[in-house]
Structure 1
């Protein structure tokens, strides 16, 4: 189901640019543009990091213009994962008036959602401004505030600071970046309901109440930033300027600054007032200790597990492009064959893949998407409808090579026809023995989906995860060694994504961004995957395949909250299975033996912790 994408355009000068710019800068500037993107019922914008709100309720007031950017087919959960990845680029401290600002963010979002940028009149404003004498005189001051600009002078939105603030949120002079935290600072918050939501949605939260007229706040602010940010995801830190957010100050009865309030699972845990560094440090440590008892895995020495690659296993060979296309053409009967235009398009796909293979080998520029041809995807869909399942393996091999390209992966991540889902389901429908080559190529497609974050998230999103699980479960017990090996690779890739998701800090200050969507994988889904992997390990006699299966289990259960995966593995007898594989010499390599022993320890310590907590 498609979603409408709308660009909200604001004038941060509230008309001053239009009326005064000609006299000040010598050129007519209609507005100091700030933009945001409205999609999925939320308004997304960039200021103190990536923010979101109910459309029209941001600090910028009402937009001067609403631009219809089109419709997107990207699922909401895939978009939220994209937002999560973008937060690494669009951080509060990475804001740059000329290079990395709200309009760059909006353009990137629109490029993903609808494949086009926001209007040039908005993104070209910095170049227009810098090309004026006044802009040239202001350039040293702007670069002194934000760092060197890549413009010489050339694009990136906003006008002179004299006309407008640099972001949608008010800034505070005491939020100077801390050198020891790489320039990052804890964000300010001005909305009472958002603050309450943050406190409720985080296990441990500390709120620093400050004000612009408070000298001790100047001293403690960078120390607060350093302490909070050094704790990573263990604690959520927020700043509130009670001069700008009077409603918050009144609601929490703040009578002096600086004041620090500490919340544990939504309830006030403690508070104190004053710029006491020692008390702040000890209060944060006590809150974290109360909120996050040490995980039993934290005390284990897991050299083999921690030495595992965090890179998904993919199948990226391009050395059989011509034979694959030749084989495909032998399967296309004349009476149901392709039109002349179809044949030309198929030749374009073949030439594009060969050119991409050559570019990778010689490290030269890759072919553009335009060279792939205008109807490559409809043609592949048409061929799939013509061929019986047992003859689809060359077509699937072509798709396996195509999805390694980020732009092709993007097409399939926003595919309304659910091509990959249907492909995965076909293996379960026909059985992995129904067509061994087709099942193998489908597994390779699934593994290659993890080569790009967008498609990797899509195959584990609520839209596709059930078909991904069916593919995995169906093939893990195949009688074909190559299928089991590739299914074990898929299990490993899923485990890598799960472990990566668990290690990411969730942005609970902005619940609409949802953190990492994979945190929301249902427990039942995880348990079914783990059950299938456990059954496969018991029967497996190949050390290489066992290595991938054991590594996938390790990723599923390491530092897992609630220990449900470890408890299941214990119930299914996985520790005994691993012990037997080592004793019978099915597993001989030192690194694999070590990993088996570490997984046994992970399961044992987690089960003991679970038993202790329930007794």
Structure 2
């Protein structure tokens, strides 16, 4: 099936290029671009929309929901045609492109977003993007304004390969050796936007007004101000690190970036003589400062400022050797006893009516079978694994069709196959961006089946529920898919799957549900402690969205109830570990307070006294969780007084 390809065109100058063109470039701008005429009404940024995602280049190759990038809504949408190239092949092409279009390789004039989209469109539809977009850098440099701004741009991105044409300056307007503040502001803003550096990133703001900066410093208990300049190469190196550190600290600190070339009044007020300079403020008063692109000093200075502004979390004062010794790796189910047996079983369950699979579809199913066997062999022999393209062009629609052909209790071999497939990163990425909500529907089916009071075939349904739980655990093998199953789109279904199965009468199902609880806890703890990937969020899964308090309460309530009833020590171990991950260093204290109200410390004491928990390290973890609950609940109570 052909896929539509669209080019989104943005104006990085946000209209400034049109209004300033005559004064800056010495030429009157028309309403539309003039091909090959060096006239433009915008400074173009482009992206490609295909397979339901928007692909663009800045801090490396990135992707987003169409229209949801930092650039807002496009000024123009250009239909580039349709492509017959399968999504799997395109994603492999993207992998190869990442070697060329890295964050470090970005250059505003020589290697930019438009070069990227031009390559992508030629690959997908065999034609380039419009020439007036790709020729803009050369046209820009063939103006007096372009030549006056060239040193600033090359200071940020390195030398450009473009050279002005001999007749570029035949007009009476000569290149300016001293660009105006307005021109510098425009160029700096365009450079940052083109490179994918937003003016505001969570808790990081870009400011040019002195009064606004002073008000911000007074309003926040901890503020760090990063003084930079467009012609400072070390500033470009440290800027993404600054963003990453500040954003990772959440609400504990406010970060501000000031370009002293654009905000000269601020530079004078704070006596900035070199860039980069970092200035730290505690409750409105200057706390410390240093100059230079020293990443270690930046991190330690921010940590010291935060420690001074915010009391240490009570968990930071506890000795938690058992908790800190827990694996931070999710529990997965990567083995398949026999691929031959699973696929043979699936074929016996398929209906034999006219709605069954065609000969072509059977061949596609066999190709999936061969792919899984080849990957297993590659893991055993430590050879190259098969690519996503080798699965065939219709693997996913086929699996979706089979789901519709089978009754719920007969879907277990199919889900077992999907469980193995999602262990491959590219397959996981396909399901993470799945408009058909495949995983959500499978998760919901378990809860719907369990709640069906008119159905007495619960034993027949257990294999399907078990395989769905294993599939849910394997989703956490991929950062992107793990983030997806806890996203606002899927988290309710994930919670329902967990809550429905934690109290199952089947030990194996309860153990797998406890593994899912552990994996969710690992993801939550990781998002709380690990710096957000600000360079390639589309690959890492990006930051975990804030989880609603009601969602946390329902999950923890179900886990606490399961611990109270559970008699298998290993299952108790996984559940207690999941509670620890849910509540450790949680600044809201809500999870710990809930566990205190539900009597979890007393429940764990009973488990230890009755010898249901007797292994030394598990006993130790239970005692540590008791302390985590008690200290956090006590701190919360003190804060309420």
TM-score normalised by L of structure 1: 0.69
Question: What is the aligned partner in structure 2 of residue 334 from structure 1?
Answer: 352
| Cα distance between partner residues in 2 of 1:436 and 1:342 | 28
Gaps of 5+ in 2: 25-35, 63-67, 83-99, 139-152, 166-183, 193-202, 293-297, 451-457, 535-540
Question: What is the aligned partner in structure 2 of residue 546 from structure 1?
Answer: 572
| Cα distance between partner residues in 1 of 2:467 and 2:518 | 17
Residue 103 to residue 319, structure 1, CA distance change in 2 (3 Å): farther
Residue 503 of structure 2 is aligned with which of 477, 480, 483? 477
CA contact (8 A) 2:206 2:256 kept: yes
Residue 414 of structure 2 is aligned with which of 395, 401, 411? 395
Residue 368 to residue 143, structure 1, CA distance change in 2 (3 Å): farther
Cα distance, 1:69 vs structure 2: 7.2
CA contact (8 A) 2:514 2:574 kept: yes
Q: Map residues 95-174 of structure 1 onto 2, 5 A cutoff.
A: 97=107, 102-103=112-113, 159=161, 169=189
CA contact (8 A) 2:47 2:113 kept: no
CA contact (8 A) 2:225 2:258 kept: yes
Question: What is the aligned partner in structure 2 of residue 522 from structure 1?
Answer: 548
Q: Map residues 284-303 of structure 1 onto 2, 5 A cutoff.
A: 287-289=305-307, 291-303=309-321
Residue 326 of structure 2 is aligned with which of 285, 292, 308? 308
Instruction: Indicate yes or no: 2:590 matched with 1:573.
Output: no
Residue 324 of structure 1 is aligned with which of 317, 342, 348? 342
Residues 555-612 of structure 1: CA distance to partner in whole angstroms, max 9, x if unpaired? Answer: 0000001201001001111111111212222222221111111111100110110111
CA contact (8 A) 1:314 1:447 kept: yes
Residue 377 of structure 1 is aligned with which of 389, 396, 419? 396
CA contact (8 A) 2:117 2:129 kept: no
Question: What is the aligned partner in structure 2 of residue 607 from structure 1?
Answer: 633
Secondary structure at the residue paired with 1:520? Answer: coil
| Cα distance between partner residues in 1 of 2:530 and 2:218 | 19
Cα distance, 1:550 vs structure 2: 0.7
CA-based RMSD of the aligned residues comes to: 5.6
| Cα distance between partner residues in 1 of 2:436 and 2:425 | 19
Instruction: Indicate yes or no: 2:497 matched with 1:447.
Output: no
Cα distance, 1:228 vs structure 2: 10
Secondary structure at the residue paired with 2:526? Answer: helix
CA contact (8 A) 2:280 2:288 kept: no
Instruction: Indicate yes or no: 2:424 matched with 1:405.
Output: yes
Residue 225 to residue 371, structure 1, CA distance change in 2 (3 Å): closer
Residue 561 of structure 2 is aligned with which of 518, 535, 538? 535
Residue 433 to residue 571, structure 1, CA distance change in 2 (3 Å): farther
Residue 105 to residue 437, structure 1, CA distance change in 2 (3 Å): farther
Cα distance, 1:55 vs structure 2: 3.7
Cα distance, 1:291 vs structure 2: 3.3
| Cα distance between partner residues in 2 of 1:455 and 1:479 | 29
| Cα distance between partner residues in 2 of 1:393 and 1:239 | 54
Q: Map residues 176-187 of structure 1 onto 2, 5 A cutoff.
A: none
Residues 159-191 of structure 1: CA distance to partner in whole angstroms, max 9, x if unpaired? Answer: 45999x9x965899xxxxxxxxxxxxx999356
Residue 285 to residue 582, structure 1, CA distance change in 2 (3 Å): closer
Cα distance, 1:419 vs structure 2: 1.2
Residues 64-102 of structure 1: CA distance to partner in whole angstroms, max 9, x if unpaired? Answer: x8655799xxxxxxxxxxxxxxxxx9998x56659x975
Question: What is the aligned partner in structure 2 of residue 189 from structure 1?
Answer: 206
Residues 205-246 of structure 1: CA distance to partner in whole angstroms, max 9, x if unpaired? Answer: 222457799xxx999999999999988725344331333135
CA contact (8 A) 1:530 1:553 kept: yes
| Cα distance between partner residues in 2 of 1:116 and 1:579 | 66
Residue 90 to residue 544, structure 1, CA distance change in 2 (3 Å): farther
CA contact (8 A) 2:57 2:101 kept: no
Instruction: Indicate yes or no: 2:429 matched with 1:428.
Output: no
Cα distance, 1:368 vs structure 2: 2.4
Cα distance, 1:326 vs structure 2: 0.8
Instruction: Indicate yes or no: 2:594 matched with 1:558.
Output: no
Task: After superposing the two structures, state which structure 1 stretch, 218-227 or 100-109, moved more.
Answer: 218-227
Q: Map residues 226-375 of structure 1 onto 2, 5 A cutoff.
A: 233=249, 235-245=253-263, 249=265, 254=269, 256-257=271-272, 269-271=284-286, 287-289=305-307, 291-335=309-353, 336-375=355-394
Residue 422 to residue 115, structure 1, CA distance change in 2 (3 Å): farther
Gaps of 5+ in 1: 17-27, 57-61, 72-88, 130-141, 148-156, 173-185, 509-514
Secondary structure at the residue paired with 2:384? Answer: coil
Residues 27-56 of structure 1: CA distance to partner in whole angstroms, max 9, x if unpaired? Answer: x9x99x984548899997636999964448
| Cα distance between partner residues in 2 of 1:321 and 1:381 | 19
| Cα distance between partner residues in 2 of 1:10 and 1:121 | 15
| Cα distance between partner residues in 1 of 2:574 and 2:161 | 54
Instruction: Indicate yes or no: 2:58 matched with 1:46.
Output: yes
Instruction: Indicate yes or no: 2:442 matched with 1:416.
Output: no
CA contact (8 A) 1:110 1:117 kept: no
Cα distance, 1:371 vs structure 2: 2.2
| Cα distance between partner residues in 2 of 1:518 and 1:288 | 22
Query: Of the two structures, which has the highest relative contact order with CA contacts closer than 8 Å and spacing of 6 or more?
Result: 1
| Cα distance between partner residues in 2 of 1:439 and 1:326 | 20
| Cα distance between partner residues in 1 of 2:61 and 2:238 | 20
CA contact (8 A) 2:332 2:477 kept: yes
Cα distance, 1:369 vs structure 2: 2.4
Cα distance, 1:437 vs structure 2: 0.2
Aligned length: 525
Secondary structure at the residue paired with 2:477? Answer: coil
CA contact (8 A) 2:57 2:116 kept: yes
TM-score normalised by L of structure 2: 0.66
| Cα distance between partner residues in 1 of 2:512 and 2:236 | 52
Cα distance, 1:271 vs structure 2: 4.3
CA contact (8 A) 1:501 1:519 kept: no
| Cα distance between partner residues in 2 of 1:349 and 1:301 | 49
CA contact (8 A) 1:48 1:188 kept: no
CA contact (8 A) 1:190 1:240 kept: yes
Secondary structure at the residue paired with 2:333? Answer: coil
